[in-house]
Chain A
Amino acid sequence: MNTPQILTRRSFLNTATGLAATAALSSLTDVPLFVQKALAEGTLGKPDANGRVKKLLFIFLRGANDGLNSVIPHGDDAYGPKIRDNIAIPVDPAQGWNVRGKALVPEAGPTGAAFAYPFSLPMGNGFAGLHPALKFLVPVYNAGELAVIHRVAYPQQSRSHFDSQAYWETGAPRATMVKDGMLYRAMVESGRPGRNSLTGVSFQNSLPLLLRGSRAAMTNLSDPTRYDLLGVPNTADGNTKAARALEAATGAAFPGKANRDLLQQQYENMRRTLEIFAGIDFSETGNTFVDGDTTDGNRPYHLFPTTNAKNGAGPSGTTNPGYVVPASSYGYFNQLKSAALVLNKTDALVAGTQIDGWDTHSNQGGVTGAHANLLQRVGWSIYALRQYFRRHAEQCRWEDLVVVTLSEFGRTTIENSDNGTDHAEASVMFVAGGGVKGLRTDATGKVARSGVFNCGPSDPVPWQTGMNGSMFQSTGRYLQRATDFRSVMGKLVRDHLGATQEQLDRIIPGYADPSQGLKSGGIQAQDKVRVTGEPDLV
């Protein structure tokens, strides 16, 4: 079944006076010829025989996530208090780190706080441990639907937040001439921007560079419950004078100037998408998705905790049995919910949001604290998205979706004098979805394949241990990459979303260049670092 966009109300376009600018705008969203040709081959944005389309949800961790305290390399004896006196994550002395099998779920007491476990969680590959605040990743990991890719970066790493975020978003490190986003280009390649009102959608303060570009408008909303032209919902009598006049004003011809195409596109985008969003219940009362599983003592958590009550507050407003996410993250979970709803209820291909605050220069914390509070959001997000798309699938099933986290760089291996960490190089990415190739065990429960990449005892690019090892390999101070983030994104765009290799070469410039090793691995020419190429994720 190929469900069309939801149009529960009379199309706003019908209110047009006939002066509308659609003719002028169509040229902006026209699909270039070469793309039309490629479209015939790839399946990017195309429904399969059952009407299913592959989709992507991104969560950008802005400020640079400390990968070493997210997925902890316990197998490297250099990790520990001697480099991170105040912030190192300890191992449970009762079991040690060298555990084989599935990842371990910690036991929580019947009334204990949800995150009381004070040790890292062994991931079962005899090397890596998860930060305890990420414990809700464990069920996803053990289901084989989560891949953890450590040591991800790119050549000639920038340690500027803004440059490095831009490179992650354009997919073109150090190529400042590339000004549009990687996922924007994927959307253009899908050929959909000319035909569908929604392709890429974000829910945050402003449209991220990932989705920015000049030829087609992607959509960003910070609060979809307020998304109504002229302040009131379109009523049966909504065809007002003001709406008509504005419609006409948007179509008036003017001489070209620097930002006029952008304005024109986004006004037009607003007109086209109002109806779609009006048909989805984004309200608090509509947020009824409950986690019915017995996770962590079968607590009455909502998948998208947006109030204390939905976050595990007890009957009298107490926190018992424990908040599953920090109360300060309700705004974020509202935006994550919006992204999930849009992927599930419209034909949008890509949606996402971001979590701010990862720039933990001071008082980063260890098992608890600022960084742990941020990781809690990530762990619960991925867990909740899995539950949501498994239970409430409409246009998107969990099997159709990949969730990916991005972050501009990792943080210094050695803590600073503020009990924090500074800007460094490689960090970690989480990739989850019904079709993701994660942990595989055989009939006896023995691990046939780990879901952890680049943080195990026998990686293709081995993790060198010790005080001169991987954690100190980049300019003697930082964790060195083993995989280029573009290999992860490229793998997802081609083998999940369905781009052809030819399309991928345009979506990620230079992807085919063998000296970059993005596809098959090798030594990256710029700084002579060996990388794995594409991880076997999907």
Chain B
Amino acid sequence: MKTFHLGWVLWLALGLGSTLRAESPDILSLTWSEGRPSLEFRLLPSISEYRVRSGSTPSATGPGATVVPGDQAGNRWTAGAAAGGDSGFYRMEAVPLPSETVRSGALLHRIAYGPTPDDLDRLAALGTDAYLEEQLAPETISEELDRVPDTGPVWRKVTLTGTGSSSTLYVYLSGAGDAYLDDFRLVAGPTDNGVATNLIANPGFEQPLAPANWTTTTNTANSARTTDFVRSGNASYHLVQVAAGSTGTDALVQTLPTTLNANATYTLSFWYLVQPSRLQLTVRLSGSGISLTVPLQGDAESPAPYHARLQEGTAGIGDLRAWHVLHAVQSRRQLAQVFQQFLENHFVTEYSKSLTYFDERAGLPYAWSGPEATRQEFKENLRWRRAFLDPKCTFHDLLRISAESPAMIIYLDTVLSRGDVSTTTKTNRIANENYARELCELFAFGVDNGYDQVDIEQISRAWTGWTVELLATNQAANPFAPRTTVLINPGLTNATERNSVTNLAGLWSFRYRTDRHDSRVKWIFHEHDAQGNILTNTPKTVPARFGPPWAGRPYGLRLNNGSTTNGIQDGYQILRHMADQPFTQEYLAVKLCRLLVHDDFHHGYDFTDAESTPEEALVKACMLAWENPPNGGPKGQMREVLRVILRSDLFREARTASAKVKTPLEFAVSAMRAFRAAKPDGSRTSVTDAPVLVASGGLLDRAGRMRLFDRADPDGYAEDAGGWISAGTLSERLRFVQSLALAGSGLTTGTGVRSNPDAMGANRIDPAGLVALRLGTDRSRSAEAVTDLLLRLLFPSEGAGNLGGYRALGIRFLNTADNGSTASAFATLTPGTRDHDARIRGLAALLLSTPRFQEQ
């Protein structure tokens, strides 16, 4: 009788240079199948390889011992052959990813909007510490995204290869407006060598238009040949539209002299003049076998035109959102960008409420109110951005920007709040509590943390008089200035029109009104009796749970600034006083840890506990860095707190990587970034058309109504997974991915990726282009190489040992025909062809749809 003495010695082998703690994978079961041992084990995070070694004694299973061949399928390992001999000892090893790899993945998911392929390379070369220090000092990173490009006429050429769906070409704009076009080419084949036969008649508009070449429609009847701008030859075409075009009845049309071959490949190109316009230009074959939509502003991805409109005050909220998203995708100052979104969400305001205020209360026409409300959102964000460029930026700086922002003064109702004495009741009016409450609960201390209802009532009185007014431009920073009297049109004879806000030149700004202020003494953070009577000799003290150096400190505040302009100091003193209290330190540390580490932090820890959790210890470390910054500078320096978190052991742990779920913003931006690599010609393998992502009905709206700069509730958008993940939001994310993977590819159905229902505008990813860039043509034929590349780019911290399931799936996907069952070797597909492109797009869509890509 044959007996087995199979001992499993379990431990975890440490990788070179690893700082991971040694943990053994738990063995859940051990079974035999036809003599082959098979075991089920618990997977560990960030493992590059699981393997089994054998030896005749336990000590003989060390690193030099024979590796037993076997197959891993998820959390099960099965030996490749029946165990030989009567007995043996085996040891299971889990080889962790190098800690630098884990940390670079974690950093790129937390202080950046997900990794780009180029960022992963850069971090590997630079090291994570250097990257972190660079990102903590954004002023040292050059950034020219908002710089307006060269002036003068700029012509751009666009090219697209697709399938001949018909022989009629449409050219149209997305709205009323104009564009200049020149030098169309359409040639057979996947490329245009510049000399192939051009299938378009009168392609450069050198001849007068005739039914034999171009025809206009009612909508384009004002168009004409022109010599004002010329790309080549003597003329170009000035397309002028009355309304949006969409098809042959409202476009510029050419019925091609040559009938195109359905399903054959053709390449279309043309030139257009770049203009600072929001319109999109579409050139397509009827049937959309080739369809190209480009923004007239030229580079769809440049935030510069948005920035220009924001600066001049003509931008709408869509412009601001697009600008914000484009920076998130492209900025080299990724940490600053993440932090700005954090601030916008922490000091939350609501664009729509400002709009309503300007429209209904301030007397602005509706059409002006949107841009004005947008300007206020932009202004506060710009101030935060600038503040953070200061190496010693403090929380107080940021809090003060928020408090002074007209967007906030309107949002939490301070703008109408009064505390002066009413002429009818002869008592002080009751101040609106809204801002005072959220200042305590959401912006500084955290709920029920060091304040109560009596404090809120006292604080609410301090903010009375903080209003919004149209001040002369040179007085916009003077809160005591009266309403501007500078007239835009002094010639108006009608007095009502002449004096209306629409004829006054100035900027809507913070204005302090002494006549609305409650000038009585305020006793804040003082003890009180059960009836709410304040004990003026007894300031509150910091609770014992904070321990040293905070516990027992009195933190009462008495304000007596009177009724003159000094009354403005009530508010400023409160901000100054609250900004560095331990409650604020704790609450902000908790919020930043939730942003950067994981969801499970909360305020209210007992910091005197001898046995503290890593979470509690990290919060306390943040508070100490806030209280006593290592650089000896002022309290509350944000960079010092961020550094503590990002250099902590907790942040480096493998369990921290991927422990958070992406918000809709993070999901969309990370998808664009994941495929965004620079090609040698300067173009990229992904293109972001931000307005589509942030539009009503776009991904951010659909997947949980994340309307940037327009949050109704003052708690800001959720940072935890439960706020974003449900069946309905997941289905929206998957729809987006499918639409994105297909956008601009000319592919529709029957490709393994289903047809897309949602318009993606000019958003594009080019996964096959990325693969070609990274693997070269030959290896682009290898299903294994392609799958491994995408897995490494999308899930850099997971480790190959844990990605085996996805890998097998990806390889099988690439080697299967579009019907989902027939084998179809990927290696037989030629890179550069439609079929090869479609297969890789399908794989990209699949991987972006997985649970793991929802994580960061």
Contact = CB atoms under 8 A, between A and B. Distances in A.
Interface stretch (B476-484, B638-646, B681-689, B753-761): B753-761
A243 B430 CA distance: 60
B617 interface: no
Nearest to B852: A254
A5 interface: no
A263 interface: yes
B846 A242 contact: yes
A248 B731 contact: no
Given A248-B809, A259-B599, A416-B433, A207 B418 contact: no
B453 A159 contact: yes
B432 A422 contact: yes
A253 B804 CA distance: 9
A36 interface: no
Interface string B797-818: 0100010011001001100111
A100 B362 CA distance: 47
B214 interface: no
A240 B820 contact: yes
Contact of B757 (A176, A231, A255, A258): A231
A356 B727 contact: no
A487 B413 CA distance: 35
Nearest to A475: B532
Interface stretch (A130-138, A213-221, A344-352, A386-394): A213-221
Contact of B728 (A223, A232, A243, A420): A223
Interface residues of A, number: 74
Interface string B673-711: 000000000000000000000000000001011000000
A262 B806 contact: no
B371 interface: no
B743 to A, nearest CB: 12
A217 B725 CA distance: 11
Contact of B441 (A160, A229, A241, A420): A160
B598 A258 contact: yes
Interface string A399-423: 0000000000000001111101011
B413 A361 contact: yes
Nearest to B425: A85
Contacts of B571: none
A230 B854 CA distance: 16
A262 B722 contact: yes
A220 B417 contact: no
Counting chain A CB atoms within 10 Å of each CB, the highest count among B704, B727, B842 belongs to B727
Interface in B714-755: 714-715, 718, 721-732, 734-735, 738-739, 752-755
A252 B809 CA distance: 9
A264 B852 CA distance: 10
Given A217-B727, A252-B74, A422-B433, A263 B806 contact: no
Contact of B448 (A163, A222, A274, A359): A163
Interface residues on B, range: 35 or more
A226 B732 contact: yes
A257 B658 contact: yes
A229 B845 CA distance: 13
A242 B432 contact: no
A259 B598 CA distance: 10
B846 A231 contact: no
Interface stretch (A72-80, A265-273, A432-440, A490-498): A265-273
A9 interface: no
A30 interface: no
A267 B850 CA distance: 9
Interface string B832-856: 0000000000100111011110110
B75 interface: yes
B600 A206 contact: no
Interface stretch (B39-47, B242-250, B258-266, B310-318): B39-47
Contacts of A361: 412-413, 432-434
Interface string B418-432: 110000000001111
Given A217-B727, A241-B816, A231 B704 contact: no
Contact of A416 (B432, B721, B846): B432
B828 interface: no
Nearest to B73: A253
Contact of B739 (A158, A159, A231, A263): A231
B721 A262 contact: yes
Contact of B854 (A229, A263, A417, A423): A263
Contacts of B655: 257-258
B417 A418 contact: yes
Contacts of B732: 226
Contacts of B755: 231-232
Nearest to A356: B712
A260 interface: yes
B429 A266 contact: no
Contacts of A207: 722, 726
Contact of B723 (A206, A356, A415): A206
Given A241-B819, A264-B851, A162 B447 contact: yes
B713 A161 contact: yes
Contacts of B723: 206
A253 B705 contact: no
B416 A258 contact: no
Contacts of A221: 726-728
B432 A362 contact: yes
Nearest to A422: B433
A232 B757 contact: yes
A219 B728 contact: yes
Contacts of B820: 239-244
B448 A242 contact: no
B74 A253 contact: yes
Given A241-B818, A254-B43, A418-B416, A228 B731 contact: yes
A255 B448 contact: no
A159 B67 CA distance: 63
B432 A420 contact: yes
A253 B44 CA distance: 11
A208 B758 CA distance: 27
A250 interface: yes
A362 B705 contact: no
Nearest to A224: B728
Nearest to A259: B721
A245 B726 contact: no
B448 A259 contact: no
Interface in B565-613: 598-600, 602
B772 interface: no
A462 interface: no
B433 A423 contact: yes
Counting chain B CB atoms within 10 Å of each CB, the highest count among A159, A260, A273, A418 belongs to A418
Contact of A252 (B412, B805, B813): B805
Interface in A173-217: 176, 205-207, 209, 212, 217
A255 B44 contact: yes
A358 B345 CA distance: 21
B163 to A, nearest CB: 20
A445 B456 CA distance: 50
B765 to A, nearest CB: 16
Contacts of A289: none
A326 interface: no
A256 B855 CA distance: 13
A292 interface: no
Contacts of A264: 851
A476 interface: yes
Given A359-B434, A414-B430, 12 more contacts: A158-B447, A160-B448, A207-B722, A220-B729, A229-B731, A232-B754, A240-B754, A241-B813, A260-B855, A269-B727, A362-B434, A418-B432
26 contacts: A159-B453, A205-B705, A206-B718, A206-B723, A219-B728, A231-B758, A241-B842, A242-B842, A243-B820, A248-B809, A249-B846, A252-B74, A257-B658, A259-B659, A259-B721, A262-B661, A262-B721, A262-B722, A263-B851, A266-B730, A270-B727, A270-B731, A356-B712, A361-B412, A418-B413, A422-B437
Give the top 7 A-B pairs by smallest Cβ distance, nearest first.
Answer: A252-B805, A253-B74, A241-B820, A221-B728, A417-B429, A255-B43, A220-B726
